[in-house]
Structure 1
Amino acid sequence: MGWDWFTDPDYWASRLVFQRMLAAIYLIAFLVALNQFRALIGARGLLPVPRFVARAPFRLAPSVFQLYYSDRFFAAVAWVGALISGALVLGLFDSVPVWASLVVWAVPWVLYQSIVNVGQIWYSFGWESLLLETGFLAIFLGPADMAPPVPLLWLLLWLLFRLEFGAGMIKMRGDRCWRDLTCLYYHHETQPMPGPLSWYFHHLPKPLHKIEALASHFTQLVVPFVLFTPQPVAGVAAAIMIVTQLWLVASGNFSWLNVLTITIAVSALDRHLLPFSPPALDEPPMWYRIVVLAVTLLILVLSYRPARNLFSRGQIMNYSFDRLHLVNTYGAFGSVTQIRHEVVLEGTDEPELTPDTVWREYGFKGKPGDPRRRPRQIAPYHLRLDWMLWFASLSSRYADSWLQPLAEKLLAADRATLKLLRYDPFAGERPTFVRARLFRYRFTTPSERRETGDWWVREPRGPALKAGRLGPDGSAVAAE
């Protein structure tokens, strides 16, 4: 028998597709970082990295930026990550030696790890840990002229199981509406960032919404166990997950979460569903086999707490038990909000505030704003500020650290901050006052849509941040 069990050429094609898709997600992640870091975590950003690393030691936030930080250095790190990821998408490293394959795939993982660990609240989403956990396993999958190692394929199945089953369990333990199948009466309207088809999904008949919820439970609570059965049954289970994730892609914007889940599920497809014949494949060297087995043992040991969490009454979601995000817990929407609120930022260039002051609204790229504007398709790109403003509409505690600094940046007409917006009503000039108001949003009904052409109806609910202007020290102060 020897080492015949160690690799499986039936997964040669799925390994290549998986690697291409993962590299594309890495590329998007690094481009997102490049486009947004100066305003969010740059040296003069809302939550600056230098301030963060001054109080968070390396052992709590391992990152190359613990050693040195400047905006130029951050940009260089992100550019290197993007260029390596782009080369991996193109397959430029497919036929390198095994050791070189490990090194090349380790580079984006180390660089993105460095970004996430200093990203603070802007990088606190579950798909960041998911990308890092998946990326770590991808380091050891080997080049194209070698069959993929079976232990790594099993670890990817274990990751996919935890991802889907964890999401299913958090729902069953969460809102009652998941158990009575009514959560999707609201979800398409109240999700963080609706997409261009979300209005139509929201207006599906209620019996179809119940079927949606039932299908979600089946896919997340039953199908994951089928992943561990023989092929082609396991591949069919993965294909069912891919179809349900495509449904989520069509119904909303969830960054790269759904595309990355699809990517992981692709690794479970063998030659029955991806019938491509591999070329003559090389035998893996002994040192590589030992490394793979050591990594497998490490992941199994670190899986104890995430596995226990799956079956715990106090289940937590989107949590990392180790600083390198090697094995994490996942889940989303254990609770579903039934009413949508939005934080709307406004400014004026009038010298004094009066009852007749004219306020002008800042426009955002993804979050709802102008009721006439149709929701946009953003994912797999990620608009971090837009997402956090949705959380701010749920509770002010999500914005305590950055909403006031955001107002100060708008009052100063900070160029990096304005680049995060779709529309600046002052065309780069400084307003005299800025305020944030809370609005209730709901989708228009079909009749309202025919009559007005609007996608949303909104009603003011009160202030989220009082009107303020810049004080002598450059910080925003409330108006009298």
Structure 2
Amino acid sequence: MDWFTSDAYGVSRLVFQRGLAALYFVAFLGAALQFRALIGERGMLPVPRYVERVPFRRAPSVFQLHYSDRFFACCAWTGCAVAVALLAGADGLLPLWGAMALWLVPWALYLSIVNVGQTWYGFGWESLLLEVGFLAVFLGNDDVAPPVLVLFLLRWVLFRVEFGAGLIKMRGDACWRELTCLHFHHETQPMPGPLSWFFHHLPKPLHRVEVAANHVTQLAVPFLLFTPQPVATGAACLMIVTQLWLVLSGNFAWLNWITIVLAVSAVDFSAWHTPTRYAPAPLWYEVLVIAVSAGLLALSYRPVRNLLSRRQVMNRSFDPLHLVNAYGAFGSVSRVRQEIVIEGTADARPRADSAWLAYEFKGKPGDVRRWPRQFAPYHLRLDWLMWFAALSPAYARTWFGPLVERLLDEDRDTLRLLRRSPFPPGSPPTHIRARLYRYRYTTWRELRETGACWERTYVREFLPPTKLAGPAQRP
């Protein structure tokens, strides 16, 4: 090892790179399968309209230069193919410069998608994947040992993810300080998983222990990442265990998994594996890594200022390339779960006795007897936005109307985002309405008696019965 590289982290780099490649694949697969209904030419928030009003400097993307659904699909599937190649170790078969170029491809493609994805891509883990993916470009391959500077920057990202989440909790909601947030969280989180019902019904004293342990992991343990080994490895392992606990308790897309991958990069495997001896790093590579590292540290000024601010914000990108970002999650926790149920009727004119049939989504709660499924790390974007819409109609102002139009028009791509349409092909509803319900988990007794994991109560009308004014018009 020399001053620039560390032989001891060869295994850490390998596991990190393969894990990141797998997450790239999941991200591109979701884009390929969902984009047409969301941001396609005939989508709810079409990319062509967006790029007309947003200049390239604010949202750098290949789709600023050209957009068609076919071109987008080509980019998304290319991203999948490159991710599979990286997962299989193709970067190890190339010279150093070739490996770096290969890692740059998925980053550039996914940046292009995120920067035109609008509301559908406004999640913190999009920026996190891009920030981590950019660092992966400079992590090297089998030719050289991992650069110490890049390893440090990966820990710096992990620190900001965890510490930022810890601070936003302490500042954002009294229940975190009172250790009571988990009395509600598993029931009201955006998309419950198959075990969330059981997590919710754990004893309340255990919930308080969970919250206290979370505070330790997010507010104290991150500082240990910058201590000598094996302390840093212990800190990373604690974070991995915490993230696996979150994986079991809910569906948070790839947020938990990319945090795990980041933590792996801080683990020293040399106690179990003899470090590989690498060739010295070429001068051009050292100069490039030093320059990039210096630039990223300079850009870190804004996230650090945000961490120290009493007005800390979550999941904020400070530059259009998403190079250094602010992170955080669940600064406040909802006490009550509300869900929007979309229903349609075939009656030409809705009456009090009309039969209204509900559309079923893949991930979000609907049918009270349907047990939640595990989807993470895959991201069901429409389901997540439906959760936000139930919190406030303002979250749905730009896309909910177009969603209803496409359901009335029996749009094939939109229906593919759903689990089930209650109307047979060729017979779309004449009217659609949306109603807001309060959902709560059933008790053990109610579950045994009814077989339902949810109980729901009508709250109010979210959208009155609506029909198409005329033949469907698409952008």
**TM-score, scaled to structure 1:** 0.97
In 1, the alpha carbon distance for the partners of 2:189 and 2:463 equals 23
Cα distance, 1:241 vs. partner? 0.1
Among 48, 51, 54, the alignment partner of 2:52 is 54
CA deviations over 1:140-174 (Å, ceiling 9, x no partner): 00012321000000000100000000000000001
- Give 3-state SS (helix, strand or coil) of 1:462's partner: strand
Question: In 2, are the aligned partners of 1:16 and 1:144 still within 8 Å (CA)?
Answer: no
In 2, the alpha carbon distance for the partners of 1:245 and 1:237 equals 13
Structure 2 unaligned spans of 5+: none
In 1, the alpha carbon distance for the partners of 2:11 and 2:349 equals 66
Among 2, 22, 44, the alignment partner of 1:4 is 2
In 2, the alpha carbon distance for the partners of 1:389 and 1:47 equals 15
In 1, the alpha carbon distance for the partners of 2:181 and 2:161 equals 20
Give the letter aligned to residue 9 of structure 1: D
Give the letter aligned to residue 346 of structure 2: D
Cα distance, 1:474 vs. partner? 2.8
Aligned to 2:104: 106
Once the two structures are superposed, the pairs formed by residues 37-76 of structure 1 within 5 Å of their partners are 37-76=35-74
Give the letter aligned to residue 13 of structure 2: R
Aligned to 1:407: 404
Give the letter aligned to residue 226 of structure 2: F
Question: In 2, are the aligned partners of 1:145 and 1:280 still within 8 Å (CA)?
Answer: no
Aligned to 1:383: 380
In 2, the alpha carbon distance for the partners of 1:474 and 1:414 equals 10
Q: Does 1:396 align with 2:388?
A: no
Question: In 2, are the aligned partners of 1:437 and 1:460 still within 8 Å (CA)?
Answer: yes
Aligned to 2:333: 336
CA deviations over 1:300-351 (Å, ceiling 9, x no partner): 1000010111111110110001110000000010100000000111001111
Give the letter aligned to residue 21 of structure 2: A
Question: In 2, are the aligned partners of 1:177 and 1:183 still within 8 Å (CA)?
Answer: yes
Cα distance, 1:475 vs. partner? 6.7
Aligned to 1:295: 292
- Give 3-state SS (helix, strand or coil) of 1:262's partner: helix
In 1, the alpha carbon distance for the partners of 2:277 and 2:164 equals 39
Aligned to 1:164: 162
Among 327, 348, 361, the alignment partner of 2:324 is 327
Aligned to 2:194: 196
Give the letter aligned to residue 112 of structure 2: S
Aligned to 1:137: 135
Give the letter aligned to residue 139 of structure 1: V
In 1, the alpha carbon distance for the partners of 2:130 and 2:114 equals 9
- Give 3-state SS (helix, strand or coil) of 1:230's partner: coil
Question: In 2, are the aligned partners of 1:408 and 1:475 still within 8 Å (CA)?
Answer: no
Question: In 2, are the aligned partners of 1:238 and 1:265 still within 8 Å (CA)?
Answer: yes
Aligned to 1:249: 247
Once the two structures are superposed, the pairs formed by residues 461-480 of structure 1 within 5 Å of their partners are 461-472=459-470, 474=472
Question: In 2, are the aligned partners of 1:95 and 1:145 still within 8 Å (CA)?
Answer: no
Cα distance, 1:192 vs. partner? 0.2
Question: In 1, are the aligned partners of 2:166 and 2:218 still within 8 Å (CA)?
Answer: yes
Give the letter aligned to residue 235 of structure 2: A
In 2, the alpha carbon distance for the partners of 1:309 and 1:197 equals 34
Q: 1:462 to 1:232 in 2, by over 3 A?
A: same
Once the two structures are superposed, the pairs formed by residues 10-29 of structure 1 within 5 Å of their partners are 10-29=8-27
Aligned to 1:309: 306
CA deviations over 1:105-153 (Å, ceiling 9, x no partner): 0000000000000000000000000000000000000012321000000
In 2, the alpha carbon distance for the partners of 1:272 and 1:436 equals 57
- Give 3-state SS (helix, strand or coil) of 1:345's partner: strand
- Give 3-state SS (helix, strand or coil) of 1:173's partner: helix
Aligned to 1:449: 447
Cα distance, 1:465 vs. partner? 1.1
In 2, the alpha carbon distance for the partners of 1:278 and 1:345 equals 57
Question: In 2, are the aligned partners of 1:146 and 1:282 still within 8 Å (CA)?
Answer: yes
- Give 3-state SS (helix, strand or coil) of 1:93's partner: helix
Structure 1 unaligned spans of 5+: none
Q: Does 1:276 align with 2:273?
A: yes
Give the letter aligned to residue 39 of structure 2: I
- The alignment's C-alpha RMSD in Å is 1.1
Q: Does 1:417 align with 2:417?
A: no
Give the letter aligned to residue 354 of structure 1: R
Question: In 2, are the aligned partners of 1:39 and 1:46 still within 8 Å (CA)?
Answer: yes
Give the letter aligned to residue 430 of structure 1: P
Among 150, 168, 174, the alignment partner of 2:148 is 150
In 1, the alpha carbon distance for the partners of 2:361 and 2:76 equals 24
Percent of aligned positions that are identical:
62
Cα distance, 1:95 vs. partner? 3.2
Cα distance, 1:272 vs. partner? 4.6
Cα distance, 1:271 vs. partner? 2.3
Give the letter aligned to residue 241 of structure 2: V
CA deviations over 1:432-467 (Å, ceiling 9, x no partner): 111111000000001100111100001111111111
Cα distance, 1:276 vs. partner? 2.4
In 2, the alpha carbon distance for the partners of 1:40 and 1:245 equals 30
Question: In 2, are the aligned partners of 1:145 and 1:279 still within 8 Å (CA)?
Answer: no
Cα distance, 1:280 vs. partner? 3.9
Question: In 1, are the aligned partners of 2:95 and 2:143 still within 8 Å (CA)?
Answer: no
- Give 3-state SS (helix, strand or coil) of 2:369's partner: coil
- Give 3-state SS (helix, strand or coil) of 1:154's partner: helix
CA deviations over 1:265-304 (Å, ceiling 9, x no partner): 000001256x223444222110000000001101110000
Question: In 1, are the aligned partners of 2:36 and 2:413 still within 8 Å (CA)?
Answer: yes
Question: In 1, are the aligned partners of 2:338 and 2:390 still within 8 Å (CA)?
Answer: yes
- Give 3-state SS (helix, strand or coil) of 1:435's partner: strand
In 2, the alpha carbon distance for the partners of 1:37 and 1:180 equals 42
Aligned to 1:440: 438
Aligned to 1:369: 366
- Give 3-state SS (helix, strand or coil) of 1:5's partner: coil
- Give 3-state SS (helix, strand or coil) of 2:41's partner: coil
In 1, the alpha carbon distance for the partners of 2:240 and 2:396 equals 34
Give the letter aligned to residue 23 of structure 1: A
Question: In 1, are the aligned partners of 2:7 and 2:277 still within 8 Å (CA)?
Answer: no
